[in-house]
């Protein structure tokens, strides 16, 4: 929508300018257009000269809600357009010890009884070696390892594990941005091609009032969303907001990315394999496989990291590997004045648990909840910053857990990670779980009990005891209960189609 500048209230936010495209920029544009498009005008400025990071992306289940519930996208069409596949979780190889493998599956392992989660019943039998790994009791983990996928069977009873299945996607980030661009432009978002060479600020409060393009065009706005990548054109270069550096806890600061030709049917999971100074990702799409080596430049050179990646690929490389350099951490403020930072401009969490896109989603949906229609209120921006800081810090702790809870001592990198002091908030979670098998979710943090428990057990943090309520049940009943859960999961997996067959039937890309 257009606003006559003569009739404008200078405090009201009626014109939003998004600086930068990519996944973050177009997710912001799509969300604002869908929820506020009749109230505000939305303009996105991007330059084709400036590339985006745009590697193959993996996501967490929250993206389903964003796509289908918030934006109203058709899932099959989305998966086709982004050449996507489905993701039931992440397989971790060689993390606690070389030769280990465990699964962080979406959804709940097993079925709890009353207030006691399933893993306590499993623990009682596991301690005596009477049950297999927890993976066998999670539908997502068991189906992923069998190469099976189904997006749910709502016609089945609600107590069937197949009734509603929790899953996410793998997709081409560049194609997702293009898809959202088409969606946004249909809803009235204006895209301007151009390179920003200057930023203009108001004298009275220092708020940004315009960006100036190379050709001299001045684009004015009441509020600006910075999606300019690591550079942080508005949030950092203009407003000098500051950055909190977490590289002492998360020492990986480089990634080498390279796509390869598909080497077989796509797996319905991401793979993360620990290497000598970091880890390697494998993300299968319909038309290729995304690969990358995330590592610490303190412990390995870029040439060594590239060679290690190329040695461990299962398909022919399609382009030359490229290097991404980053510092894990976050801005001191995500919302500063009339600027909101999203995506890489807001901070960076390495891709170990596929949190980059969900942080964009959280950032933009929270902003819509608090949208400053009548003008920027510091109370709102302070609350926004507190909420986003909480999310970043909880995800940070979850990522540190993967590195710190290891027995590996075969390289300087792993010796550093194993012995480094960690945040008190994480140490408390590890100590409590190790002693009692208990975990308590902190508010609405992204990762719930099932995620923390699967990773802690997978990283060989084995609790010293289980919940006292388990002893209420006679041992023979516990054996039968746990055994029945495994049988039900196995029968459900047996009934599911293969991942490739599901894609071929419902959402095969052209």
Q: Are strands 190-193 and 347-348 parallel, antiparallel or unpaired?
A: unpaired
Tokens of 369: 């909840």
- Tell me the pLDDT tens digit for each residue of 140-167: 999 999 999 999 999 999 888 999 999 9
Say if residues 331 and 389 touch (Cβ distance below 8 Å): no
The boundaries of every CATH 3.50.50.60 domain in the chain are 5-83+171-244+329-394
Is the pTM for the entire model greater than 0.85? yes
Q: Most distant CA pair in the chain: distance in Å?
A: 80
pLDDT band for position 136 (cuts 50, 70, 90)? very high
Q: How far apart are CA 340 and CA 376, in angstroms?
A: 11
With the CA atoms of 176, 178, 180 and 184 taken in that order, what torsion angle do they form, in degrees rounded to the nearest 10? 170
Please report the DSSP string for 328-385 in residue order: -EEES-SEETTEEE-GGGTEE--GGG--HHHHHHHHHHHHHHT--TT---HHHHHHHH
Task: Name the percent of the chain lying above pLDDT 90.
Answer: 92
pLDDT for residue 6 is more than 50: no
Token pair of 130 as six digits: 């009477």
pLDDT at 407 exceeding the cut of 60: yes
Q: What are the pLDDT digits (tens) for 121-135? A: 999 999 889 999 999
Cα separation, 234 vs 388, whole angstroms: 19
| Homologous superfamily of the 5-83+171-244+329-394 domain (CATH) | FAD/NAD(P)-binding domain (3.50.50.60)
Task: Give the tokens for residue 19.
Answer: 């600086």
Residue 75 pLDDT more than 90? yes
| Closest by CA position to 339, among listed 182, 226, 194 | 226
What pLDDT does residue 204 have? 86
Rounded to the nearest 10 degrees, the angle between the axes of helix 356-369 and helix 378-404 is 160
Higher pLDDT, 50 or 264: 264
Q: How does pLDDT run across 294-322, given as a tens digit for each residue?
A: 999 999 999 999 999 999 999 999 999 99
Q: Give the pLDDT confidence of 239-266 residue by residue, as tens digits.
A: 999 999 999 999 999 999 999 999 999 9
Q: What is the pLDDT of residues 192-218, one digit of tens each?
A: 999 999 999 998 899 999 999 999 999
The predicted-structure confidence for 316-337, as pLDDT tens digits, reads as follows: 999 999 999 999 999 999 999 9
Partners of 273 in beta bridges:
93, 280
For the annotated catalytic residues, the residue numbers are 87
Neighbours of 319 (CB within 10 A): 10
């Amino acid at each position: 929508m257009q606003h006559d500048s003569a009739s404008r209230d200078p405090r009201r936010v009626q014109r939003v300018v998004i600086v930068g495209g990519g996944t973050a920029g177009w997710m912001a544009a799509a969300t604002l257009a869908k929820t506020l498009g009749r109230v505000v005008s939305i303009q996105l400025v991007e330059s084709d000269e400036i590339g985006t990071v745009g590697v193959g992306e993996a996501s967490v289940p929250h993206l389903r809600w964003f796509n289908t519930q918030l934006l109203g996208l058709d899932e099959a069409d989305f998966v086709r357009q982004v050449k996507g596949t489905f993701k039931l979780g992440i397989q971790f190889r060689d993390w606690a010890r070389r030769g280990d493998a465990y699964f962080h599956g979406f959804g709940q392992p097993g079925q709890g009884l009353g207030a006691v989660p399933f893993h306590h019943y499993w623990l009682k039998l596991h301690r005596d070696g009477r049950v297999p790994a927890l993976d066998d009791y999670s539908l997502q983990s068991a189906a992923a390892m069998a190469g099976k996928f189904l997006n749910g069977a709502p016609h089945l009873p609600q107590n069937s594990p197949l009734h509603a299945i929790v899953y996410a996607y793998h997709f081409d980030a560049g194609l997702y941005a293009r898809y959202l661009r088409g969606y946004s432009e249909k809803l009235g978002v204006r895209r301007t091609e151009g390179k920003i060479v200057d930023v203009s600020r108001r004298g009275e409060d220092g708020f940004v009032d315009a960006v100036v393009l190379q050709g001299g065009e001045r684009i004015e706005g009441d509020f600006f969303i910075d999606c300019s990548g690591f550079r942080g054109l508005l949030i950092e270069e203009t407003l000098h907001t500051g950055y909190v550096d977490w590289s002492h806890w998360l020492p990986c600061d480089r990634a080498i990315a390279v796509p390869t030709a598909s080497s077989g049917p796509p797996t319905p999971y991401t793979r993360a394999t620990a290497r000598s100074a970091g880890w390697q990702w494998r993300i299968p799409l319909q038309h290729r496989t995304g690969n990358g080596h995330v590592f610490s430049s303190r412990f390995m050179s870029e040439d060594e990291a590239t060679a290690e990646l190329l040695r461990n690929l299962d398909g022919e490389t399609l382009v030359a590997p490229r290097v991404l350099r980053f510092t894990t951490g976050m801005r001191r403020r995500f919302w500063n004045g009339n600027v909101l930072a999203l995506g890489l401009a807001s901070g960076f969490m390495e891709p170990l648990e596929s949190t980059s896109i969900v942080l964009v989603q959280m950032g933009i949906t929270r902003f819509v909840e608090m949208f400053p229609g009548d003008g920027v209120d510091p109370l709102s921006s302070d609350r926004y910053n507190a909420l986003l800081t909480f999310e970043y810090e909880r995800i940070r702790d979850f990522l540190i857990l993967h590195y710190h809870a290891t027995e590996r001592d075969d390289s300087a990198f792993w010796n550093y990670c194993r012995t480094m002091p960690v945040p008190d908030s994480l140490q408390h979670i590890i100590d409590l779980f190790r002693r009692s098998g208990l975990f308590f979710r902190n508010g609405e943090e992204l990762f719930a009990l099932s995620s923390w428990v699967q990773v802690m057990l997978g990283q060989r943090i084995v609790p010293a005891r289980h919940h006292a309520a388990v002893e209420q049940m006679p041992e023979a009943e516990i054996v039968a209960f746990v055994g029945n859960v495994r049988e039900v999961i196995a029968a459900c997996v047996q009934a599911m189609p293969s991942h490739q067959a599901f894609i071929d039937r419902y959402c095969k890309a052209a």
